[in-house]
Amino acid sequence: MMTARITVLAGDGIGPEVAAEGEKVLRAIGARFGHDFTIVHRLIGGAAIDAAGEPLPADTLADCCASDAVLLGAVGGPKWDDVPPSRRPETGLLALRKGMGVYANVRPVVAHPSTLDASPLKREIVEGTDLVVIRELTGGIYFGEKSVRTIDGEEHASDLCTYSTHEIERVVRVAATMARGRRGKVTSVDKANVLETSRLWRRVVTRVMRDEFPDVTCEHVLVDACAMHLVKRPSAFDVIVTENMFGDILTDEASILAGSIGLLPSASIGDAIGVAVSDATGHATGDTTGDAVETTPEGNGSTRRRGLYEPIHGSAPDIAGRGIANPIGTIMSVAMLLRHSLGLDDEARCIEAAVSAALDAGDVTIDVDQTRALPTHRVGDAIVQRLDGVMV
């Protein structure tokens, strides 16, 4: 039995609806495998602004940093458009990522056989897609110095994009180690023909891959070319690693490969947290602090990391409260939470198998299949009902 403390941040828009289904699955997994999960709820984003006047209250950050893992719904919405930029809902999420030290955003994109026709792309293009995007999460233009000033009667705005060698090295190591357990290929995405930060990115990636991962193939692709290749030959990609803004944009584009953005989960992870793990012979290998990561196909294994888990979709305020939001991205994020932060690979695979069975049976929301659409809670129930029947 494992005892773990998990903070749930439902957030805004459809966030509470999908977070409730993720929590439902988490509790069901705990019951099946005999784990004791203590779940606490805290505010973030617009909900926190309404209740406490700020997007990331101190008690929320403290609870998240003290927990074994954090599950997030979504933040933001037009209700808070007039809030000063420094206090918008999204700034709470950025501050949470920085405060938790989660610097690598892991976004798997898999084209499930049952959802191929939900993609606007031809079946033959998306079939066989199985890739992971590793997005650097706490550097780049989103965190750079910002300014707005008036010069000669005109407004001028600037956002500074900066990266350090260390920031690039650590996220590349996550990507390369993950690739070792998959198909052994890393695609580094940059804009090195124009941007100085991208030229540094390419130099660091080249050195790290050459010196530390000579067994992993590495290619460099410009971001605009990558955007094109993602929709022309997505099955050619294995692990993509890129900077913050490029990763944000490319993974939204990649969501069409899966059929709906509502299907895609993510894990924002930091350094290993010092848990003793076992090697192939069953002997303890000691402390895993530093940059060690999992080496099996999807980052599976015993290494545990600090983590923030969320679907990649936004708060979707236009459908909030209608009970039609897709909870699968959140539920698959729960599987990633169990694997990366709690080291519970069997439990993670149980959820993934239950989701796959639900997709095969057509237990989906309207964004995946308009003719067989179920409400949000019914999809969650269908997945929970399949958990006990899954063999792991």
Q: Are residues 324 and 348 in the same domain?
A: yes
Q: In this structure, what DSSP letter does residue 84 have?
A: -
Say what the pLDDT of residue 85 is. Answer: 86
Catalytic residue status for 248 = yes
Say what the pLDDT of residue 1 is. Answer: 85
The count of other CB atoms within 10 Å of the CB of residue 368 is 25
Say what the pLDDT of residue 328 is. Answer: 98
Q: Are residues 279 and 351 in the same domain?
A: yes
Q: What is the pLDDT of residues 191-202, one digit of tens each?
A: 999 999 999 999
What pLDDT band is residue 283 in, cutting at 50, 70 and 90?
Answer: very low
Q: Are residues 235 and 143 in the same domain?
A: yes
Q: Are residues 95 and 129 in the same domain?
A: no
Q: Of 258, 291, 306, which one is at a domain's C-terminal end?
A: 258
Q: Are residues 251 and 303 in the same domain?
A: no
Residues recorded for the chain: 392
Among 79, 98, 185, 191, the one annotated catalytic = 191
The secondary structure of 77-95, three-state, reads CHHHCCCCHHHCHHHHHHH
Q: How far apart are the first and last CA of the chain?
A: 17
> Using an 8 Å Cβ cutoff, are 8 and 44 in contact?
no
What pLDDT band is residue 372 in, cutting at 50, 70 and 90?
Answer: confident
Q: Of 242, 258, 274, which one is at a domain's C-terminal end?
A: 258
Q: In this structure, what DSSP letter does residue 373 have?
A: B
Q: Of 258, 285, 308, which one is at a domain's C-terminal end?
A: 258
Q: Which of 247, 145, 138 is nearest to 190 (CA)?
A: 247
Q: Are residues 267 and 389 in the same domain?
A: yes
Among 130, 252, 291, 381, the one annotated catalytic = 252
* Mean pLDDT, range 282-290, rounded to an integer: 33
* Mean pLDDT, range 298-306, rounded to an integer: 58
* Mean pLDDT, range 158-173, rounded to an integer: 97
Say what the pLDDT of residue 276 is. Answer: 35
* Mean pLDDT, range 310-316, rounded to an integer: 95
> Using an 8 Å Cβ cutoff, are 303 and 272 in contact?
yes
Q: Are residues 12 and 66 in the same domain?
A: yes
Q: Are residues 70 and 177 in the same domain?
A: no
Name residue, tokens 């990633």: 336
Domain span at residue 315 reads: 1-115+261-392
Among 36, 59, 159, 224, the one annotated catalytic = 224
Among 63, 79, 98, 142, the one annotated catalytic = 142
Catalytic residue status for 224 = yes
Q: What is the pLDDT of residues 266-279, one digit of tens each?
A: 999 998 765 433 33
* Mean pLDDT, range 77-81, rounded to an integer: 95
Q: What is the pLDDT of residues 17-67, one digit of tens each?
A: 999 999 999 999 999 999 999 999 999 999 999 999 999 999 999 999 999
Say what the pLDDT of residue 273 is. Answer: 67
Catalytic residue status for 142 = yes
Total-model pTM: 0.88
Among 248, 271, 367, 369, the one annotated catalytic = 248
Q: Are residues 135 and 249 in the same domain?
A: yes
Q: Are residues 52 and 144 in the same domain?
A: no
Q: Are residues 179 and 292 in the same domain?
A: no
Q: Are residues 139 and 241 in the same domain?
A: yes
Query: In the chain, how many domains are there?
Result: 2
Any idea what the CATH number is for the domain that residue 220 is in? 3.40.718.10
